[in-house]
Amino acid sequence: MQKRFVVSAIVLAALSAISPFLYAQSSGANGVATNTIPKWEDALPKKAAYAGTAKRPAPRRDFSGVWNGEAEGGAQANGAFEHPAVKTGRPAADRGGQADEKDIARPLPYTPAGLAALQANKPTVGVRAVGSSLQNNPVDICDPVGFPQLDLFQFRVVEFAQAENQVLALYQFSDTWRIIWTDGRSLPNPDNAEPRWNGYSVGKWVDDYTFVVQTNGLDERTWLDHAGRPHTSKMKVEERYHLVDYDTLELTVTIDDPEYYAQPWQALNKFVLHRLPDSFDMQESLCSPSAIADYKKIIQNVISPPGK
């Protein structure tokens, strides 16, 4: 499954500090603002590529651009970055065998209902891992990834664009998008909002370099992360995007779901996203049920060849 969601990467160009908004294009052919030659299917730079690079000042109220989540661990294969479902330092040795998350390094504050919901979700990773024939991760049958799992699993490349009344977010994983309204509207009433896989989002600048997003109305069929952390449709998620400098964006994600968690908890805490060139072309990462069926056929045939 994860093979299908492979990725790649790189660099950038200066936006006008005056106009963070999208605008009319002056020309079709001379818009190249980088000194790199635009190409396709770019490869993602690793963390080391960012060491020691010069820091330029952050633009004011503008985080538009293409951002690399891969370099600092956005794949989050064992669960949300701040709370992977593993014991200290030995993810391979810790794999599987537990009914709950006892003794993981950074435990979550489950309520009894939250713990019961967790146990119904059967992941393939972490201390609760089960064999692939027993797992029930919705993403593995191409159900929508949904928010906030978009931030908490295979968080490799995301592009943000700002319009006058919206921020547009384009995620590489599953080729899906979100719109974050900045026109001052309030969130829908969670008691009767029709659930959405990506929820309902509003955002605002709390200072010139910090954009805060609130999301509710989320479909409770999605998992929060690859370790099967559950949520209800009453969950509220806060994302805090903070521009440290031109090339660095920190994201903090806070999960607030009192039915399942006794306190709000941070799934990402100042998780670092590095700016990529604005000519960066994301590799496509779409889930295909027929490709999964083909893959399973091959694996199953290896394990138990037909006719044997």
Using CB under 8 A as the criterion, which residues of the chain lie in contact with another protein when the complex forms? 13, 15, 22-33, 38-41, 64, 138, 141-144, 159, 161, 163-165, 168, 170, 175-177, 179, 181, 183-194, 196-198, 200, 221, 278-279, 281-282, 284, 286-290
Q: Residue 263 contacts by C-beta under 8 Å, 6 or more apart in sequence?
A: 109
Q: Residue 184 contacts by C-beta under 8 Å, 6 or more apart in sequence?
A: none
Closest Cα partner for 243 from 234, 252, 235?
A: 252
Rounded CA gap, 56 and 296, in Å?
48
Least Å distance, CB 137 to another protein, is 11
Least Å distance, CB 258 to another protein, is 16
Q: Which is nearer to another protein, 14 or 116 (CB)?
A: 14
Q: Which is nearer to another protein, 13 or 115 (CB)?
A: 13
Q: Which is nearer to another protein, 270 or 296 (CB)?
A: 296
Least Å distance, CB 93 to another protein, is 33
Q: Which is nearer to another protein, 83 or 226 (CB)?
A: 226
What is the distance of C-alpha 126 from the center of its chain?
19
CB atoms within 10 A of CB 152: 27
Least Å distance, CB 249 to another protein, is 17
Q: Which is nearer to another protein, 73 or 188 (CB)?
A: 188
Q: Residue 172 contacts by C-beta under 8 Å, 6 or more apart in sequence?
A: 7, 154, 156, 157, 158, 282, 283, 285
Q: Residue 85 contacts by C-beta under 8 Å, 6 or more apart in sequence?
A: 78, 79, 101, 104, 123, 125, 126, 127, 128, 227
Least Å distance, CB 169 to another protein, is 9
Q: Which is nearer to another protein, 81 or 171 (CB)?
A: 171
Least Å distance, CB 146 to another protein, is 9
The DSSP-derived string for 104-147 is: -SS---B-HHHHHHHHH---SSSTT---TTT---GGGGT----T
